[in-house]
Amino acid sequence: MAKLNLINKIFNAGPLILLYFLSSSEIDTNLEKVFEIFSFNLPIIIIYFWILKRPSVLGTGHIFFAGLINDVVMGYPLGISSLSYLIVCFFSNYVRNKSVNTTIASDWFTFFIALMFANLLFFSLLNNFSDVVISYTKIGYNTFFTLFLFPILWLIFSFYQANFIGGQDA
Amino acid sequence: MSVSRDDFSIAFRSALLQRGGAQKFSILSLIILAIFIFFLDIYGFVVVKKARSIINDVVFRITYIVSSPLRFIPNASTNLSSHFNLKEENEKLRQVIENYKSLDLNLEYLTNENKNLRKVLDAENIVNEKNIVLAKVLVDRNSPFLKSIIINKGTQAGIKKGMPVTQDNYLIGRIVETNYLSSRILLLNDLNSRIPVTLGNDSAQAILTGSGTKNPKLEYLPEGYVFEDEITIFASGKDGIFIPGTPIGKTTLNSGKYDNEIKLFVDPNQLSFVTVNLVRLNKEKF
């Protein structure tokens, strides 16, 4: 029984471990070596999905901390990724409070709004308060591919939730 | 109508302020904290800078450790395949040795010629080789927006902001952030990189600008300049930062995306050891 509990805890911690791993490791979702314009923001998808479906899996403190680590590794001003992650988190919380049953299509639509707000905040802060110059084309591609890949990752995470975490949505 | 407005405000407030379960902090408090940290970092208070430097050192080490399994996998497959190709490799090495033997004959002549030419040029900016630091690349995270790498040497080794960084004597970038035990290098292909360069027989001056893609491009070429293929680009040193004559890359007409693109001698995605030149050149006085 105790062993089963431990396994459950490990599976429950999976998304959080993945979030920290993506923030702190060299692994990235910028696959421009394969396809020049291809990059997407996996942490934002993870945060949106799990806060929407299972908020107990990701704590807001962890999301904030993962954002700080991401800023240090990427060389952005401290706090900017945390802010963008927390905006996504807020949208996801709001949608969860307002809706009873969600479908992949409704989640996709609300994710689009959350992503737009998060990216808008991220890049307007970077543009107005930092010396870092960023290509708008790359932002566009990144947003597009993040949005485009959301349904695929939605299915993968739903499968993971159904088979490894269990129970119903929050 | 008023009910739906109430609904909205309840859901909104709840999303911002709700705590419980794994949510130990409310989103609102964390957003305020993130904004506070952001502005502290942007306006660069001394205490924050020092704190950030320590955080950077710790996080870069953690990142290096966390990423080590990822590095091991490609290395293991390479080692395995090279083990099976030993005979072939041996023959290739023999050929390389023969080539080196023939090259060695020319070396003495070239060394003398080089010495004489340096005397003629009276090159005051030639770098003293003692003033270089060899550093290992700790983190090479390929961000879609910023092209930079982290090395394992910092202010402790005498590295300062702005110092040029090379690999095999080819320029790859400059130091933009220093910590006690680590530094960040801005690569030549980053959108924020601008370097004065010289090219061609007539020593045309231009600015090498990062484009965010693999190859940087040349801007501010002389009026009417005809861009040709395979011309070597050197740092001009006009900014007083980069060492004049450091080779960077060759012009290329076949890469496609931008006009005036430069193919770098060193692939920015394949860096493992780099050299930081500790000598900071003075700006030219007129």
Residue B270: pLDDT over 50: yes
Greater pLDDT, A102 or A62: A62
Band the pLDDT of B251: cuts 50, 70, 90. Answer: confident
Residue B124: pLDDT over 50: no
CA distances from A31 to A25, B85, B86, B144, B257 (A): 15, 30, 33, 9, 18
Q: Are B98 and A55 in contact (CB under 8 A)?
A: no
Residue-by-residue DSSP string for A115-161: HHHHHHHHHHHHHHH------HHHHHHHHHHHHHHHHHHHHHHHHHI
Chain-chain contact of A83 with B192 (C-beta, under 8 angstroms)? no
How many degrees, rounded to 5, is the angle at CA A26 between CA A25 and CA A28?
100
How far is the alpha carbon of A149 from chain B, nearest alpha carbon, in Å?
Answer: 16
Q: Are B208 and B197 in contact (CB under 8 A)?
A: yes
3-state class of B65 per DSSP?
helix
Q: Which chain B residues contact residue A72 at CB under 8 A?
A: 52, 55-56, 59-60
Q: Are B189 and B212 in contact (CB under 8 A)?
A: yes
Q: How far apart are CA A125 and CA B191, in angstroms?
A: 18
How far is the alpha carbon of A101 from chain B, nearest alpha carbon, in Å?
Answer: 16
Q: How far apart are CA A15 and CA B4, in angstroms?
A: 34
Structure-token match 């060695």, residue found: B104
- Eight-class DSSP state of B215: S
Instruction: Give me the residues paired with residue B206 across strands.
Output: B197
How many degrees, rounded to 5, is the angle at CA B81 between CA B75 and CA B85?
135
Band the pLDDT of A49: cuts 50, 70, 90. Answer: very high
Residue-by-residue DSSP string for B76-138: HHHHHHHHHTHHHHHHHHHHHHHHHHHHHHHHHHHHHHHHHHHHHHT-TTPPPGGGEEEEEEE
Return the pLDDT at A82.
92
In this structure, what are the phi and psi dihedrals at residue B171, rounded to the nearest 5 degrees? -70, 135
Q: How far apart are CA B227 and CA B211, in angstroms?
A: 18
Q: Are A46 and A19 in contact (CB under 8 A)?
A: yes
Q: What is the mean pLDDT of residues A85-100?
A: 88
Residue A132: pLDDT over 60: yes
Residue A139: pLDDT over 90: no
Return the pLDDT at B1.
47
Band the pLDDT of B22: cuts 50, 70, 90. Answer: low
Band the pLDDT of A30: cuts 50, 70, 90. Answer: low
CB pairs under 8 A between A and B: 157
Residue-by-residue DSSP string for A45-80: HHHHHHHHH-TTTS-HHHHHHHHHHHHHHHTPPTTH
Most A-contacting residue of B5, B26, B145, B176 (CB-CB within 10 A), to test interface: B145
Chain-chain contact of B177 with A75 (C-beta, under 8 angstroms)? yes
What tens digit of pLDDT does each residue of B40-86 get?
888 877 777 788 888 888 888 888 887 777 666 666 666 666 676 77
Q: What is the mean pLDDT of residues A115-133?
A: 87
A134 touches chain B (CB under 8 A): yes
Which of B15, B35, B42 comes nearest A83 by C-beta?
Answer: B35
Q: List CB contacts of B150: < 8 A, sequence separation 6 or more.
A: B60, B63, B137, B138, B139, B140, B182, B183, B184, B185
Which of A79, A134, A138 comes nearest B34 by C-beta?
Answer: A79
CA distances from B50 to A8, B57, B158 (A): 41, 11, 17
Return the pLDDT at A9.
83
Residue B126: pLDDT over 50: no
Q: Which of A1-5, A44-48, B14-18 has the lowest mean pLDDT?
A: A1-5
Q: How far apart are CA B151 and CA A102, in angstroms?
A: 46
What tens digit of pLDDT does each residue of B166-208 get?
988 889 999 988 888 889 999 988 888 888 998 877 788 889 9
Return the pLDDT at B51.
81
3-state class of B187 per DSSP?
strand
Q: Which helix (DSSP H) or strand (DSSP E) does residue B149 occupy?
A: strand B148-151
Sign of CA dihedral A28, B163, A138, B259: negative
Q: Which chain A residues contact residue B177 at CB under 8 A?
A: 75
What tens digit of pLDDT does each residue of B136-159 get?
888 777 676 778 888 988 888 889
Amino acid at B118: R
Greater pLDDT, B110 or B136: B136
Q: Are A22 and A42 in contact (CB under 8 A)?
A: yes
